[in-house]
A and B are shown apart, each in its own frame.
Chain A
Amino acid sequence: MELPTLVASVIVVSLYVNLGIALYGIFARPSLVKKLLAITILSDTANAFAVLVGYRWPRTGTPQPPVLMNTTNYNESIKYYIEHAVDPLPQALVLTAIVIGLAVTLFIAFVIIQYYRLYGTVNVRKTATSSR
């Protein structure tokens, strides 16, 4: 197995493990804070996965960030750029997803703090039992 393939495979497997940890946190942990942490891990895993899907290892040379660095000889530069730059679309999607994700995470954190102030706990099982 070539080195780039090996590294990509290790990253994919570690992302799957991250996904498992996040799902466990969301489904099994009763604490809302831990659920929020798990949701954050899940969204970060999805973002990292999107960036990995847009990554490339060109046939010749090394990958390049999606920024046109040289325009002196435009035709040659743009040809090299298209052949070596990674996919910019997942990066653009992830960029907005991170900022909006942070804003939504902050909002959920606010809700959890208010929940704690009202119920005195962030444990959903305790709250469910006490309201019966």
Chain B
Amino acid sequence: MKKSEICVIISIVIFIFSLAYITSLGGLGYLPPVDVRKLAQIYLASTYNPYQPTNTSSGYESVTAIIWDFRGLDTFFETAVFYGAIIASVAIYRGVEISSKKKSIGMSPIAKTVTRLSLILIPIVAASIAFHGHLTPGGGFQAGSVATVVIVLSIMVFGLRRLVQKGVTKPKILLLRSLGLIGIGLTAIGLVLAGLVIGVNAYIFQNQAKAMAEISYPMWIDDVLFGGSLLFFNIFEFVAVMAGFTLVLMLFSIEEEEVKKVIK
């Protein structure tokens, strides 16, 4: 082992012991905390509050309420960063095409049959997570990640070429990804556009009516809690995340020979 490596290890050990010592002196306060901060209490109290319709996010799930209502603009830009990373990955692979002419081999018929069943069940679970994101733990991010399992399974069991032959191509997935992001953008300015038409004020990322902006996404439909804009955001985010991960995983699975033709 080199001297520099030993120095790094000793420095890290001293750093870790210092952190542990500060913690033992109460640097992080009482562990685990008994109370949450005031801000968290406000979030928890305003997640669903039927007595204060101008101060509620119309869902039962506080995390989704924060992500798409209280901090909606942050999440929009975070989604844009995610989109940027995907676009950068696609840019590295520009010019590389997935050949769909060759025959795809795939795994055994047993694996294929079992996977065909899963390919129906997994999207149902994903859709359930997305559609109930404002009621139960879950949401667009989680649903999109679950739905990506379908693509991973398909690539592993049937082969990438088979997926392309079935019409799952790079431009189509990129289009779906863009539609998801456009859907998020439109939901964000939906009430502003509606307000312009009917002549009332509204804010960007507004969910329920506020003072001087008395226009809302539906909170209830019949006796079902609809969640206002949260439901739309979850669905579009589901599409965006699923398409984004699908695209990257497809690029990862391209044969080395195909890539080397372009790089050489």
Choose one: A24, A68, A98, A100; the contact of B47 (CB below 8 Å): A68
The answer on a CB contact under 8 Å between B41 and A88 is no
Choose one: A16, A87, A98, A111; the contact of B40 (CB below 8 Å): A87
Chain B contacts of A68 at CB under 8 A?
47-48, 60-62
The answer on a CB contact under 8 Å between A87 and B37 is yes
The answer on a CB contact under 8 Å between B263 and A88 is no
Number of interface residues of B (CB under 8 A): 67
Classify the secondary structure of B's interface with A: helix
Bitwise interface map of B from 175 to 198 toward A, beta carbon under 8 Å scored 1, else 0: 000000000000000000000000
In Å, the complex CA distance between A87 and B93 comes to 41
Interface membership of A132, Cβ < 8 A: no
Chain B contacts of A102 at CB under 8 A?
245
Extra A-B contacts (8), CB below 8 Å, given A74-B51, A95-B141: A12-B20, A56-B35, A59-B34, A68-B60, A78-B44, A82-B41, A103-B86, A106-B248
In Å, the complex CA distance between A23 and B259 comes to 33
Within 8 A of B (CB), among A95-129: 95-96, 98-100, 102-104, 106-107, 109-111, 114, 117-118
The answer on a CB contact under 8 Å between B32 and A100 is no
Q: List 15 A-B contacts (CB under 8 A).
A: A8-B31, A8-B32, A56-B32, A66-B44, A66-B63, A68-B62, A71-B48, A82-B41, A88-B40, A89-B66, A91-B63, A103-B82, A103-B85, A107-B88, A110-B89
